[in-house]
Amino acid sequence: MVKYDENSITILEGLEAVRKRPGMYIGSTDKRGLHHLVWEIIDNSVDEIINGYGNKITVRINKDGSITVADNGRGVPTGMHKSGKSTPEVIYTILHAGGKFETAGYKVSGGLHGVGASVVNALSDWMEVTILRDGKIHQIKFKEGGKVASPLKEIGTTNKTGTIVTFMPNSEIFKNLSFSYTTICERMQESAFLLKELTCEIEDVIDNKKTTYHYDNGLISFVEYINDDKTPLHKVISISGTKNNIEVDVAMQYTDSYNENIISFVNNVKTIDGGSHEVGFKTAITKAFNEYARNNNMLKNKDTNFEGTDAREGLTAVINLKIPESLLQFEGQTKGKLGTPEAKPAVEGVVYDALKYYLEENREVSVNILEKMVKSKTAREAARKAREEARNGKSKKNEARNIIGKLTPPQGRNPKINELFIVEGNSAGGTAKNARDRKFQAILPLRGKIINTLKATDADIFKNEEINTMINCIGAGYGDNFDVKDINYDKVIIMTDADDDGAHIQCLLLTFFYKYMRELIEQGHLYIAMPPLYKIDYGKTHEYCWTNEELKEITDKKSNYKLQRYKGLGEMNPGPLWETTMDPERRNLIRVNIEDSVLANKRVNVLMGDVVEPRKEWINENVEFSLEDDFAINLK
């Protein structure tokens, strides 16, 4: 029997807070939140390996739906904590124990990690921790969100070391309990790229699948992996060095693509919003290439310097820093931006010195890259000129001709508040035109499906009328010349029918924006509208439903209603469309964002590219089909 004293009551209260507001601790309780639980546990294993103990992490999705994470580090200490509880009990039941934990001689590493094990326990039906250390096997079991079901006890002997954690997420908190093998593989693969010594093994016992990741060449393999669908201009350049106590590792490669793809990590945590290390990297490469080009007469006296964007066109780079905890500073709402000022000169110094040397030693590669930069500089200067001319009215006429008869513009001219609805077909366009607030909302109906911009050539794409109209309406150019400062609308909203055709058009449009107006997404200007699926009429009042679950919940409780299923936007009257989908006060919009640039790139290629097989595989693994939806997916 476990006796609860005053201390344990506060512990349970702490974990109770997590169960009451899980979103505050793990972001959400959808699929992403469910996987957040796994990342919390894996992060503890990764910390142990970064510190030089162990080299293997295994993740297993079990038959009963629970998940196991195991590492071969030192094993969590099994001694008594000064509170009178065993160390593992404290680690897995006290909120934020990781960050603050201090027992005789133990200190949790990593700076960011190790704080979430108790959160995972709080949100689980049960959790089991097995520790292999000092020749013994110890085990502790928890139930109902962190109550001790069986205190730490010795259950056997061993000659191995490590920690094994198994947990079953709580089915009331998480509506979707199935772990995604693909998502876990992608995350583990990234860890294996970042830590050369690490081997990651992932097993799905339910679907009988198993994958192992190990990369002797670390970041070099990471860049090769990102670029495997592009044509590289040279072998990956690898740069390593230490300055101001900061370890800098970089791998970089130019390809024939026009996109820049820089991904950075600090102590193996992704810095989604960049920060001082990325600034240092960008300064270093611009400086090194400009100097080399001047010294070798590829930039003449009269020429202006390459700008940063010229130096980064077609560049894929991965930056990984190891910074001592005392220097770590993160900024921004999600703490995804490195603030440490010392990181800029450290990265700049290491990268500039190494790149300068590399360029001198590899003349052929240097000339190849510089020729690409010259092209980028020329195109940039030409685009700037064209934009200036357009602003002076010289080419405005053509654009206007293209738009007339298609776009219903707003009356107001304020691009900071105006909204552009891109709708599917003329019938939906007609309803939207009547539904909108004409002061600031514009409607652009598309006729039929737009071209798949991932499969077509540039020439075909820019012959396409619908694409030209969209580019002209948005008014900020496209591709390299896209300048988000020039957009005519604060929000570009894709509004399609809530059926599979609508979803397909959404994908085609997203692919176009991703490829030719990525900054529109990155700066948060692209949205997806959410029209309802049903209207329930009770006579005097009515309600709308967006999902079949919502519909069931309402119709289970009520009788005497009239149900209307909206097959398309064209079937809706302007009133309901305004009320549910277009009125800024009442509508729900999905803001499109790119959470992970590597994954986004790979996904767009798998889902919209030429090869059918990986697409089929991805859909089979990730899409939940329901008979009610009457889905027909055309994979061609």
The residues that touch ligand 0R9, with contacts defined as CB under 6 A, are 41, 44-45, 48, 69-71, 73-77, 87, 91, 101, 106-109, 114, 117, 163, 165
Place of tokens 């890259």: 369
Residue 67 beta carbon to ligand 0R9: minimum distance, rounded to whole angstroms = 11
Is 30 a residue of the active site? Answer: no
Question: Of 190 and 579, which has the nearer Cβ to ligand 0R9?
Answer: 190
From the candidates 48, 313, 497, 579, which is the catalytic residue? 497
610 alpha carbon, distance to own chain's centre: 23
Residue 162 beta carbon to ligand 0R9: minimum distance, rounded to whole angstroms = 7
* Sheet containing 246-254: order of strands: 237-243, 246-254, 315-322, 261-266, 269-270
Contact 138, 130 (CB under 8 A): yes
Contact 222, 213 (CB under 8 A): no
Question: Of 118 and 366, which has the nearer Cβ to ligand 0R9?
Answer: 118
Q: Which residues contact 99 (CB under 8 A, 6 or more apart)?
A: 108, 114, 115
Contact 270, 326 (CB under 8 A): no
Extract the runs of DSSP E, i.e. beta strands, from 393-548: 419-424, 441-446, 491-495, 526-529, 534-537, 542-545
From the candidates 419, 424, 466, 579, which is the catalytic residue? 424
Is 553 a residue of the active site? Answer: no
Q: Which residue is nearest to ligand 0R9 (CB)?
A: 44
**Backbone CA torsion sign across 399, 403, 407, 412:** positive
185 alpha carbon, distance to own chain's centre: 15
Question: Of 127 and 420, which has the nearer Cβ to ligand 0R9?
Answer: 127
Of 471, 417, 476, the residue nearest 442 (C-alpha): 417
Question: Of 22 and 77, which has the nearer Cβ to ligand 0R9?
Answer: 77
Residue 113 beta carbon to ligand 0R9: minimum distance, rounded to whole angstroms = 9
The structure tokens listed for 394 are 């010289």
CA–CA dist 77, 86 (Å, integer) = 9
Residue 43 beta carbon to ligand 0R9: minimum distance, rounded to whole angstroms = 8
612-622 and 597-608 are packed helices; what angle lies between their axes, rounded to 10 degrees? 110
CA–CA dist 570, 429 (Å, integer) = 8
From the candidates 499, 519, 571, 596, which is the catalytic residue? 499
Is 424 a residue of the active site? Answer: yes
Beta-bridged to residue 528, according to DSSP, are 494, 590
Is 610 a residue of the active site? Answer: no
Question: Of 42 and 582, which has the nearer Cβ to ligand 0R9?
Answer: 42
The structure tokens listed for 627 are 């008979």
CA–CA dist 491, 478 (Å, integer) = 17
Residue 221 beta carbon to ligand 0R9: minimum distance, rounded to whole angstroms = 25
Q: In sequence order, which ranges of 86-180 are alpha helices (DSSP H)?
A: 87-93, 97-100, 117-122
Question: Of 76 and 288, which has the nearer Cβ to ligand 0R9?
Answer: 76
Residue 70 beta carbon to ligand 0R9: minimum distance, rounded to whole angstroms = 6
CA–CA dist 371, 361 (Å, integer) = 17
Contact 343, 277 (CB under 8 A): yes
CA–CA dist 100, 91 (Å, integer) = 10
Question: Of 114 and 568, which has the nearer Cβ to ligand 0R9?
Answer: 114
Q: What is the DSSP letter of 411?
A: S
From the candidates 501, 519, 550, 571, which is the catalytic residue? 501
φ/ψ (deg, to 5) at 241: 180, 165
The shares of helix, strand and coil residues in the chain, as percent rounded to the nearest 5, are 40, 20, 35
Residue 48 beta carbon to ligand 0R9: minimum distance, rounded to whole angstroms = 4
Question: Of 7 and 295, which has the nearer Cβ to ligand 0R9?
Answer: 7
Question: Of 75 and 445, which has the nearer Cβ to ligand 0R9?
Answer: 75
Question: Of 131 and 533, which has the nearer Cβ to ligand 0R9?
Answer: 131
Residue 98 beta carbon to ligand 0R9: minimum distance, rounded to whole angstroms = 6
Residue 8 beta carbon to ligand 0R9: minimum distance, rounded to whole angstroms = 18
Question: Of 91 and 373, which has the nearer Cβ to ligand 0R9?
Answer: 91
- DSSP secondary structure of 206-218: TTTEEEEE--TTH
Residue 561 beta carbon to ligand 0R9: minimum distance, rounded to whole angstroms = 51
CA–CA dist 321, 266 (Å, integer) = 5
Residue 184 beta carbon to ligand 0R9: minimum distance, rounded to whole angstroms = 14
Question: Of 115 and 343, which has the nearer Cβ to ligand 0R9?
Answer: 115
CA–CA dist 378, 393 (Å, integer) = 23
Extract the runs of DSSP E, i.e. beta strands, from 288-432: 315-322, 330-331, 337-338, 419-424
CA–CA dist 477, 471 (Å, integer) = 6
**Backbone CA torsion sign across 274, 279, 281, 286:** positive
Of 71, 77, 20, the residue nearest 42 (C-alpha): 71
Residue 118 beta carbon to ligand 0R9: minimum distance, rounded to whole angstroms = 11
- DSSP secondary structure of 540-599: S-EEEESSHHHHHHHHHH--S-EEEE--SGGGS-HHHHIIIII-TTT--EEEP--S-HHH
| Number of neighbouring beta carbons within 10 Å of residue 462 | 14
List active site positions: 424, 497, 499, 501
